[in-house]
Amino acid sequence: MLGVDPTPQACLAYFEEFEAAFRTAANVKITRKCIPAGTNLHLTSRDVARELIELQQIERGEQR
């Protein structure tokens, strides 16, 4: 997602900046796939990117 081979610090900074998108993506996947509480899941860059795009659209006043 960062487009390079990032450092661990860069990864943490990116997560902190876009934490809401990561959490929303996880919640959407959990709901869609009916994943039980306490189960591990694989969150892909596509999952997160989808939420980042939607958040940008909302910021521009578009409907979700």
pLDDT at site 63: 60
Q: Is 25 a member of any domain?
A: yes
pLDDT of residue 10: 93
What is the C-alpha R_g of the chain?
13
* 34 domain residue, yes or no: yes
Instruction: List phi, psi (to 5°) of 44.
Output: -95, 165
Residue type (1 letter), 19: E
Task: Say if 2 falls within a structural domain.
Answer: no
* pTM for this model (two decimals): 0.78
Q: How many domains does the chain have?
A: 1
Quick one: how far is CA 33 from the chain centroid?
Answer: 16
* Residues sharing a CB contact under 8 Å with residue 62, sequence separation 6 or more, in sequence order: none
Alpha-carbon span 58 to 48, nearest angstrom: 15
* Rounded Cα distance, 15 and 35, in Å: 23
15-50: pLDDT as tens digits: 999 999 999 999 999 999 999 999 999 999 999 999
| Structural domain range at position 23 | 8-59
